Structure 1
């Protein structure tokens, strides 16, 4: 079996490298036929990465028009905290079941809060833009580490794993976080020990999620032997800046430099998201299957083995990210943090890249029988995955969920803007069934933290005798917002009933508001 190296780098110790002299980038894979027609040649010569990027961009633009959506829980809190900072107030990090703060998220929140209510929509559009950048980063990593076809296939796979664009459509910071990591990885794949540019991207990622601190620290150790002592100190300061900034923000706001860690583990315990170490392997497999689906998991495992055997040096960066991502998930789980699938997003993306190697890695081989066999098997595998996906994906459910995201926020906004509701808010705090509606109500009504209280916070809610209560009026709103997402109970239904003495003020198909004044 003969393997080609598109940049003249040795990918294996045996004499099996296809070299393409004079080109620093991946050579386009030759067609499988020995005598390609002119039409086939023209089709193969088309700038497919640019074409697919254009298709993705148009799809995102059309999607934002057809399915208008708004920021979800975590992102809305970033906007709230940004608005509080702009008003000269300390952000309410310690609010009941508030998410973990992220310093770079605060910067984004401050910026988009300048636009008032339009800020949530603008933040969402920016996140969708970062999704496109993330896909570009994955393509570039696949191209630099392996070949152009591998990069294209990886980009297609991630776009068709709907959890990822759906995260972008709700404004989660995981998407820009992944974009930063993938571009850092692609830069390192293009040039070993790239140094400062990679560290800067990892540091920015470390201001969105602390897992990047581990990546930055390990990368610094990788750079260490090739650096002078002056460079070692300078780059060490870059690596340390993210945790120092994060702890500094926590200390300034709460007086506790470890507030984010302590708050996160406390909320995880309250929500029942912690797992024992014996449960982690099964949870890892479950989450991976949920994120990328079983055929891609299988293809990813096969591709990992193939890449490590056929192109070990090219696989170095993607494999390191995969292993570190899995190890970090294990550390977070053991450390008492939430065991949720979002903490496996990075390894899931790398598994997609190796699945793409299974489908397109034949392009590293020189033309011959083994390349033809691999390409044919890959084509059959892709056909199977397409059929498998078509038979199992329910696009109706996906589009219904996207539509609900837009209509629910619009219904909530119109209801809370009713003059009677605004007047009733002067009588006391707004009660919600649980914590899930708090940020939306605060954002729409421009209320401080102590004026929106979850009824699931029994101690705080018991002190409220006057004001408003927001309830789910429709089944869809109750299932998505009225029930505890982790452990639904009969108490959730009781909390969706108006307290004694509260009278109806306004309602629509999804929500109703009751009030009581002195």
Structure 2
């Protein structure tokens, strides 16, 4: 029902007019944005991290593209390619070795844009207070800023999807701006194909034929460009799909439809945390009862996200929690309704009681977080990733290591270090191999540079993964002599 006790007009109505009203509405979001920007700048310089495996490969492929070299999509355990990320990586590779840190900076900016987009969506659907709470929940779900700190493509992807939803929430069938954002998102992650396809159906019925043709072109751009890229590089337009499925099986990751039900609950609880997930259910029920016409966009994104996750399982791809990022954001929006939805009511007893309960819930959440979340874990993880990369760079800068490259390929314990070594040394696919790659074992034994973990942290977090404990990864090969070491790695050479 849309009760007469609601204070805010239906979604899409103009904001309160007049300088005083605008100042009151915009002050707290502006303060929050300034604080978020300050915290982001601090985090960027205080925790100097580097791109993750997937993002670094996009930069490698971008560099190959600029140099006119074949793109190494079929490299050993290479991640799935993302066309827009490759173009972006090509631009950043023009900056040389500094390009990887610029990528992190841009991902941090994308996180700020994402937070602003979630505020915009929740505030337009409900109230500014709900928007602020949703943005606050996002900032305190540490998985999301951690993804930004590692340069994951998921953050800019989510920013585009959420802003597209916010624009559509403000004006139904908005058209071109929403299609443009979703088309870009569809070049970053295939989950957006379903979103933009459904949006086409939503917009096409009342549109003219010329509009339908334009909308169809926007909708087809993502999958068509993706398939053409695969075809041009590998000769197989379905390479990304088949390669991802095969890699999931090789790494022993959960996949298939049978893994979806339990994984859905487990991943949403991990991303949102149990209290927020529970409150989100309550918030949805409250919103559906009080303002059913305002919940359509968050609900649609939640259901589409779940549908995509099911389709991922059906396709045999890896069932990982990153595929539930969009639904997890909508859970935060509905949790914010439960905590701040009293601002939709006129002053009265119900509003007062609701506000009091919300305040007590927030205080309980703060207590729950402070007693169960160890912030040192996140700090140590960020420190490790930055220090580990710096240690690898120090090792590879050693003149003896550089000289050993002429004797053969650089071998690393497994696929985890391939992208970093290739990026830092500017080497092609054939010159950096993993000792877990059965097709390269003999090349690794014959000569070249062999890199090993030199401390327990590097060994446990980057080498002894996925059940791989073959001695060839962790012990010096016969005939290789020690030439250099850094804080985290050691190098042996055989010529």
Shorter-chain TM-score bucket reads over 0.9
Find the residue that maps to 1:490 and give its secondary structure. coil
Q: State how far apart, in whole Å, the 2-side matches of 1:72 and 1:275 are.
A: 22
Residue of structure 2 equivalent to 1:259:
239
Asked if 1:121 corresponds to 2:107, the answer is: no
Q: Which has the higher helix share?
A: 2
**What is the aligned counterpart of 1:470 among 447, 451, 465?**
451
Q: State how far apart, in whole Å, the 1-side matches of 2:237 and 2:349 are.
A: 61
Say if 1:179 and 1:208 are closer, same or farther in 2 by CA, change over 3 A.
same
**What is the aligned counterpart of 2:394 among 392, 414, 419?**
414
State whether residues 27 and 147 of structure 1, in contact with CA within 8 Å, keep that contact through their aligned partners in structure 2. Answer: no
Find the residue that maps to 1:101 and give its secondary structure. coil
State whether residues 431 and 461 of structure 1, in contact with CA within 8 Å, keep that contact through their aligned partners in structure 2. Answer: no
* TM-superposed deviation, 1:200: 0.8
Q: Is there any run of 5+ residues in structure 2 with no aligned partner, and where?
A: none
State whether residues 20 and 27 of structure 1, in contact with CA within 8 Å, keep that contact through their aligned partners in structure 2. Answer: no
1:244-294 per-residue CA deviation (whole Å, 9 max, x = no partner) reads 111111111111111111111110111111334333211111111111111
* TM-superposed deviation, 1:463: 3.2
Residue of structure 1 equivalent to 2:405:
425
* TM-superposed deviation, 1:21: 11
State whether residues 256 and 317 of structure 2, in contact with CA within 8 Å, keep that contact through their aligned partners in structure 1. Answer: no
State whether residues 481 and 494 of structure 2, in contact with CA within 8 Å, keep that contact through their aligned partners in structure 1. Answer: yes
* TM-superposed deviation, 1:45: 6.8
1:71-92 per-residue CA deviation (whole Å, 9 max, x = no partner) reads 1101110110111111111210
Residue of structure 2 equivalent to 1:33:
none
Find the residue that maps to 1:117 and give its secondary structure. helix
**What is the aligned counterpart of 1:490 among 459, 466, 469?**
469
1:58-112 per-residue CA deviation (whole Å, 9 max, x = no partner) reads 0010111111111110111011011111111121011001000001001110010
State whether residues 12 and 169 of structure 2, in contact with CA within 8 Å, keep that contact through their aligned partners in structure 1. Answer: no
Find the residue that maps to 1:129 and give its secondary structure. helix
Asked if 1:18 corresponds to 2:1, the answer is: no
Out of 505-514 and 368-377, give the one that drifted further. Answer: 368-377
Say if 1:379 and 1:26 are closer, same or farther in 2 by CA, change over 3 A.
farther
Residue of structure 2 equivalent to 1:85:
65
Counting matched residue pairs gives 491
* TM-superposed deviation, 1:512: 0.2
State whether residues 114 and 158 of structure 2, in contact with CA within 8 Å, keep that contact through their aligned partners in structure 1. Answer: yes
**What is the aligned counterpart of 1:301 among 238, 263, 281?**
281
State whether residues 2 and 292 of structure 2, in contact with CA within 8 Å, keep that contact through their aligned partners in structure 1. Answer: no
Residue of structure 2 equivalent to 1:9:
none
1:362-398 per-residue CA deviation (whole Å, 9 max, x = no partner) reads 1111221111111111111111111100111111111
Q: State how far apart, in whole Å, the 2-side matches of 1:438 and 1:22 are.
A: 50
* TM-superposed deviation, 1:22: 13
- Matching of residues 116-265 of structure 1 within 5 Å: 116-265=96-245
- Matching of residues 94-113 of structure 1 within 5 Å: 94-113=74-93
Q: State how far apart, in whole Å, the 2-side matches of 1:308 and 1:83 are.
A: 50
Residue of structure 1 equivalent to 2:353:
373
Say if 1:477 and 1:458 are closer, same or farther in 2 by CA, change over 3 A.
same
State whether residues 257 and 316 of structure 2, in contact with CA within 8 Å, keep that contact through their aligned partners in structure 1. Answer: no
Q: State how far apart, in whole Å, the 2-side matches of 1:240 and 1:304 are.
A: 33
- Matching of residues 442-481 of structure 1 within 5 Å: 442-464=422-444, 465-481=446-462
Q: State how far apart, in whole Å, the 2-side matches of 1:494 and 1:461 are.
A: 9
Say if 1:218 and 1:160 are closer, same or farther in 2 by CA, change over 3 A.
same
* TM-superposed deviation, 1:437: 0.3
Query: What TM-score, normalized by structure 2, do the two folds share?
Result: 0.96
> Pairwise CA RMSD of aligned residues?
1.9
